[in-house]
Amino acid sequence: MNKLAKRFRGFLPIVVDIETAGFNPETNALLEIAVIFVDYEDGVLVPIETFHEHVIPEPGLILDQDALEFTKIVPDHPFRYAISEKEMLVRLQSRIEHHCEQLNCSRAVLVGHNGQFDLSFIQAALARQQLSMLLHKFLVFDTATLSAAFLRETVLARAVRKAGMPFDEAEAHGALYDATVTTDLFSELIKRADSLKR
């Protein structure tokens, strides 16, 4: 069995961050997603692929102006090079299947900071597009919870800094940057968890 599959009981942890046009997965659009795939080498989680897409707002969904001002996303900007929600999901499923096969995992598990939020938007998008994905339907490896346990912090920026890593406020709230720092944080937290077994 692959070391990663053995470490996570046959699951493939994928670090996910999304940007949305509001807080309701049923009515607000998903606008951006970043997913970082990892392997487990010498007791350390190592990024092996980054999936990043801007998403065209699904017709009929709400674009909350406060959310857009917070993320600074202009949904119809031509240089976003956005793809449809359905195409994004199909592409992501293909990458999940590839890495599950390569790393002998049965399905992916979302890793995220307050990851139930990200999972709820992905599940709502899958339902809208009538698609399925090799992604656990309810299990999440939540770095906010792990950070509370190991670092006594729940806010991403504070947890990252307390773990001894830099955090750039100017880059925050972009899916790619937040997924990258969440990957680093998750790797550090798993390292700390593993050290307790020795």
Active-site residue set: 173
Helix count and strand count (H, E) for the chain: 7, 5
Rounded to the nearest 5 degrees, what angle is found at the Cα of 163, between the Cα atoms of 178 and 107?
55
Is 173 annotated among the ligand-binding residues?
A: yes
> Known binder of ligand: residue 99?
no
Q: Is 118 annotated as a binding residue?
A: no
Please report how many Cα atoms fall inside a 13 Å half-sphere around the Cα of residue 7, on the Cβ side.
20
Residue 113 near residue 120, CB atoms below 8 Å:
no
* Angle ∠(82,86,92) on CA atoms, nearest 5: 85
Separation of alpha carbons 124 and 134, rounded Å? 15
| Known binding-site residue numbers for Mg(2+) | 17, 19, 173, 178
| Known binding-site residue numbers | 17, 19, 173, 178
